[in-house]
Amino acid sequence: MRYVIIGTSAAGLAAAETIRQRDRQGGITLISDEPHLPYSRPLLTYLLGREVDAEKIFLKSHDYFDRWGFEPRLGAPVLKVKPESREVHLEGGETVLYDKLLIASGASPRLLGIPGEDLAGVYTLRNLADVENLEKGLPPGGSVAIVGAGAVGLKAAEALIRRGNRVTLLEAESRPLPHLLDQTAAGLLHQVLTSLGVESHFGVRPVGLMEKKGRLNGLLLDNDNTVTADAVIIAVGVRPRNEFLAGTGLDRPEGIPVSPFMETGHRHIFAAGDCACAPHFLTGEPAAYRIWPAAVAQGEIAGANMTGAGRRYDGILPRNSISLKGVKIIAGGLLEPDGKDGEVFNELDRSRGHYRRLVFQNGCLVGVTLAGPKAADAGIYFQIMARKVPVKDLPVDIRSAAFHPGKLWA
Amino acid sequence: MKTVIVRPERCVGCWQCRLACAVEHSRAKNLVGALFEEIKPKPRLRLYPGRLHWAFPNKCRHCDPAPCQAVCIAGAISKDPVRGTTDIDPARCINCAMCAMACPFGVLTYAATFAAPERRAVALKCDQCPDREAAGRLPACVEACKVGALTYGEVEDAQVDKGRALAQAVFASYQAAAEAVPGLPETISLWRKLT
Ligand SMILES: Cc1cc2nc3c(=O)[nH]c(=O)nc-3n(C[C@H](O)[C@H](O)[C@H](O)COP(=O)(O)OP(=O)(O)OC[C@H]3O[C@@H](n4cnc5c(N)ncnc54)[C@H](O)[C@@H]3O)c2cc1C
């Protein structure tokens, strides 16, 4: 059996290891256009902020591919996939044949589509090469504008403050992490940002990038204000990487459609991770939510199914953990109940920085936000959510201020 | 493989396990020394007031596969193939709390440790006292427990004796469920056993 995997990151490696555990003999080829050993994308902002050393971002040892019996093809961009002849075409003309193919090609940053995005001084942050470019191009102590107060934008802001840059954060919505946090939690986060020294502007969109001598020197906003900046990082989300799938019908803008078994519409082709469009765990609707844990889980299932396991994926439970300046906010599930049988419970203690918000729908827990020290209990709430059972069946009322894990077990 | 078995129904909430755990995870590894350390050592197990019992001891179950390991974005969590423990490398941990998002037991604490003095806080949890194990001694919490709420034994024995060892039964059910279905749903059956 010849297994071929495009992508050597969270989803691709989880799949490869799962395949190897179930099939000792089969050939497993791992292809990536990046030349590096597998590394952690989420650590890139920590690398930028000099919080972790360069060698710590690598997730696997030097003999990793050998030990697992994988055939790596690093620095080899895939140009085309031909499902009829089961071929993967690499740059330089080489063709790799497969019996089972996994597409785990991740995503790439979206741009704004405004004039000036090709100027020197305009950056995105997704790959190790992007950090290398920033290292080279960022003026020490200079001012940087970050467009987008999502997870990447926020972590980038913290990193740049650590480097001694002045940071202006621009967000089109009215608050940071608008899809994950409510007003109150976002307010707590905003406080942390301010205490870091980040200047934030909400409800504004850049409409153009200004240049001086061929370099970026500022942004023009839709409210006619300008922001001067020596550099700009565009962090407004990602789009699935699927340009090499043109002609297969899989190159959909929302991601590669997959069955609950992570199969695509083509026999023998599977997809997992940021490039795929899996359903939301709670609503069953396509969920454009791209996180490391989901990529690992999908990779494991795709890998197992490529060896014939027949495992089912029940969907992405959107959730994330934001830790800024040591302050932790963990949130996930639905932000608001989506029907009239919904209910939202809040518990706020500003003096202790504690916030707990629970969202219920038809008696089940469907959303949670925890800020402050109690964020460490988040996993318990997500387990309750994953059960999809009415909370009245639990031995304690999870709304009670005295709720803690012991109450569930005793 | 031996592990710490929790029998919450026996716990009287005397806190000796927490004290012993904090001391074991100090630089000095003795009470007097631990008290004066610059970075205050933290216990890696918690005691909650229970619903039916006086107290509920809660600690890492060293799940296999470990959900915290699957979500760790820093490559800081690994399984020790010999000891069977789930270990966190404080030198790699970035205090992002992804593990807290995944841990079905809520056992993680974030605080400074002498083992990574350059970090403001890292994820801390039970490591099942490797130094003690190497010296043929019991884990600190087990040694300190005088009421049989924390004992040290073979995983297999404990699995057979599910009724007595509630926490271990939870651990066992997690493993069994993980075999059947991967991903989120496996934890559903876990919680059925829990409650
Ligand atoms: C700065 C940053 C911070 C983040 N922080 C978090 C966080 O805290 N928590 C969290 O859950 N998630 C975080 N994420 C998101 C997380 O990194 C992604 O969800 C995860 O990496 C997805 O993994 P993947 O395997 O699907 O794809 P990717 O990691 O994108 O990997 C795709 C792979 O495919 C290769 N590839 C793509 N196209 C081709 C081609 N044509 N030819 C050859 N190779 C190709 C790429 O080179 C790469 O190796 C962060 C992301 C970034 C950028």
- Atom 3 (ligand 1): residue with closest C-alpha? A42
Residue A393 lies inside a defined structural domain of this protein: yes
- The candidate with the shortest Cα–Cα distance to B145, out of B16, B52, B7, is B16
With a 6 A CB cut-off, is A45 part of the ligand 1 pocket? Answer: yes
Determine, for residues B51 and A376 on separate chains, whether the beta-carbon distance falls below 8 Å.
no
Best residue among A94, A241, A298 to mutate for probing ligand 1's pocket (most ligand atoms within 8 Å of CB) is A241
With a 6 A CB cut-off, is A79 part of the ligand 1 pocket? Answer: no
* A184 and A207, same domain (yes or no): yes
* A276 and A245, same domain (yes or no): yes
For B178, nearest residue in chain A (alpha carbons): A311
User: Across the strands, what pairs with B77?
Assistant: B88
Enumerate the residues of chain A whose CB falls inside 8 A of the CB of residue B195.
394-395, 408-409
Enumerate the residues of chain A whose CB falls inside 8 A of the CB of residue B71.
292-293, 296
Residue A9 lies inside a defined structural domain of this protein: yes
* Rounded CA separation A114/A122 (Å): 12
Best residue among A291, A313, A321, A324 to mutate for probing ligand 1's pocket (most ligand atoms within 8 Å of CB) is A291
* Rounded CA separation A293/B188 (Å): 17
Index of the ligand 1 atom closest to the CA of residue A243: 41
For A53, nearest residue in chain B (alpha carbons): B92
- The candidate with the shortest Cα–Cα distance to A73, out of A119, A32, A124, A103, is A32
H-type alpha helices, B77-139: 98-102, 130-134
| pLDDT for residue B190 is more than 50 | no
pLDDT digits over A226-260, tens only?
Answer: 999 999 999 999 999 999 999 999 999 999 999 99
* A100 and A244, same domain (yes or no): yes
* Rounded CA separation A289/A278 (Å): 9
* A225 and A302, same domain (yes or no): no
| Phi, psi angle pair for A235, to nearest 5° | -135, 65
Cβ proximity of B184 and A312 under 8 Å = no
Q: Which of A181, A207, A234 is the last residue of a domain?
A: A234
Of B71, B97, B187, the CB nearest to A293: B71
Q: Mutate which of A316, A368, A383, A400 to disrupt the B interface (most B C-beta within 10 Å)?
A: A383
pLDDT digits over A140-173, tens only?
Answer: 999 999 999 999 999 999 999 999 999 999 999 9
Q: Which of A188, A206, A234 is the last residue of a domain?
A: A234
Give the pLDDT score at B156. 63
* Rounded CA separation A248/B77 (Å): 39
* Rounded CA separation A173/B180 (Å): 43
* Rounded CA separation B16/B140 (Å): 10
Which helix (DSSP H) or strand (DSSP E) does residue B111 occupy? strand B109-111
| Phi, psi angle pair for A265, to nearest 5° | -65, -15
Best residue among A5, A8, A9 to mutate for probing ligand 1's pocket (most ligand atoms within 8 Å of CB) is A9
Give whole-number Cα distances, A353 to A108, A158, A186, A329, in Å: 35, 19, 12, 10
Does ipTM exceed 0.90? yes
- Atom 16 (ligand 1): residue with closest C-alpha? A292
Which helix (DSSP H) or strand (DSSP E) does residue A376 occupy? none
Dig out the tokens for B7 from the structure: 């029998």
Which helix (DSSP H) or strand (DSSP E) does residue A46 occupy? helix A44-48
Enumerate the residues of chain A whose CB falls inside 8 A of the CB of residue B70.
14, 293, 296-297, 300
| Phi, psi angle pair for A386, to nearest 5° | -65, -25
- Band (A182; pLDDT cuts 50, 70, 90): very high
- B90 CA: distance to closest CA in chain A (Å): 12
pLDDT digits over A59-98, tens only?
Answer: 999 999 999 999 999 999 999 999 999 999 999 999 999 9
| pLDDT for residue B161 is more than 90 | no
Index of the ligand 1 atom closest to the CA of residue A8: 49
pTM equals 0.92
* A297 and A339, same domain (yes or no): no
Domain ranges, residue A350: 326-407
* Rounded CA separation A253/A286 (Å): 12
Geometric angle at alpha carbon A59, from A56 and A62, rounded to 5° = 95
Q: Which of A234, A254, A280 is the last residue of a domain?
A: A234
Question: Could you tell me the CATH number of the domain that includes residue A359?
Answer: 3.30.390.30
Cα-to-centroid distance, B99 and ligand 1 (Å): 19
Pairing of strands A342-349, A215-221: unpaired
- Tell me which of 3.40.50.720, 3.40.50.11740, 3.30.70.20, 3.40.605.10 is the CATH number of domain B2-153: 3.30.70.20
**3-state DSSP assignment of residue B55:** coil
| pLDDT for residue A407 is more than 90 | no
* A225 and A273, same domain (yes or no): no
Chain A and chain B share a number of CB contacts under 8 A equal to 158
Dig out the tokens for B83 from the structure: 């000891």
Index of the ligand 1 atom closest to the CA of residue B71: 11
Percent of chain B at pLDDT exceeding 90 = 60
- B51 CA: distance to closest CA in chain A (Å): 5
Sheet holding A354-361, edge to edge: A319-324, A327-333, A364-371, A354-361, A342-349
pLDDT digits over A12-41, tens only?
Answer: 999 999 999 999 999 999 999 999 999 999
* A100 and A242, same domain (yes or no): yes
Give the pLDDT score at A15. 98
Residue A93 lies inside a defined structural domain of this protein: yes
| pLDDT for residue B151 is more than 90 | yes
Question: Could you tell me the CATH number of the domain that includes residue A100?
Answer: 3.50.50.60
Sheet holding A100-103, edge to edge: A70-74, A27-32, A2-6, A100-103, A269-271
Determine, for residues A410 and B50 on separate chains, whether the beta-carbon distance falls below 8 Å.
yes
Residue A311 lies inside a defined structural domain of this protein: no
Determine, for residues A46 and B101 on separate chains, whether the beta-carbon distance falls below 8 Å.
no
Cβ proximity of B4 and B45 under 8 Å = no
Give the pLDDT score at B167. 36
Pairing of strands A143-147, A269-271: unpaired
Burial class (CB in 10 A: 0-12, 13-18, 19+), A351: exposed
Residue A115 lies inside a defined structural domain of this protein: no
Contacts of A14 (CB under 8 A, 6+ apart): A272, A295, A296, A297, A298, A299, A300, A303, B70
With a 6 A CB cut-off, is A264 part of the ligand 1 pocket? Answer: no
| pLDDT for residue B1 is more than 90 | no
* A250 and A219, same domain (yes or no): no
DSSP 8-state assignment for residue A331: E
* DSSP-derived secondary structure for A94-126: -EEE-SEEEE---EEE-----TTTTSBTEE--S
Give whole-number Cα distances, A84 to A67, A248, B178, in Å: 33, 10, 36
Cα-to-centroid distance, A263 and ligand 1 (Å): 20
* The residue to which tokens 């209990």 are assigned: A377
Cβ proximity of B82 and B69 under 8 Å = no
* A294 and A337, same domain (yes or no): no
Q: Is B103 on the interface with A (CB under 8 A)?
A: yes
**3-state DSSP assignment of residue A164:** coil
The listed range with the strongest mean pLDDT (A7-11, A373-377, A400-404, B59-63) is: A7-11
Q: Is B73 on the interface with A (CB under 8 A)?
A: yes
